Amino acid sequence: MIANIGADVLPALRSHDPVAARSAFHAYRVIANGLGGGNEIVGGLWLFFVGLAMMEARQFPCLIAWTAMIIGGAGILTTSPPLAELTSLFGIGLILWYAWAGVALLQLGKAVVKD
């Protein structure tokens, strides 16, 4: 998805100034890859450490914390070219984990309100 945002200006620029279009394309690719098109190390590290914090806090089920660390580890492993296909596992896993963690946070909030 990120690869399509802003790309619509490049063909018009190319018809007026091919050299500028080439420079803009290279800048565009650097930004797109930096935002997640290249690998998922930042999100993987973040999720891994969130899982560790959840384990330390002992307020969430261990399975949620372990799942966060496993999915985060998959994101970290995408930095290795042979394991780049783990990007899909990381992305889909992260979406499912967010939903699961959201439900757990709602349940935790209800328990705190009752006390």
Q: Is 89 exposed, middle or buried (0-12, 13-18, 19+ CB in 10 A)?
A: middle
Mean per-residue pLDDT, 40-45? 86
pLDDT at 16: 82
pLDDT in tens, 65-75: 999 999 999 99
pLDDT band at 1 (very low <50, low <70, confident <90, very high): very low
Domain boundaries, the chain: 2-37, 41-114
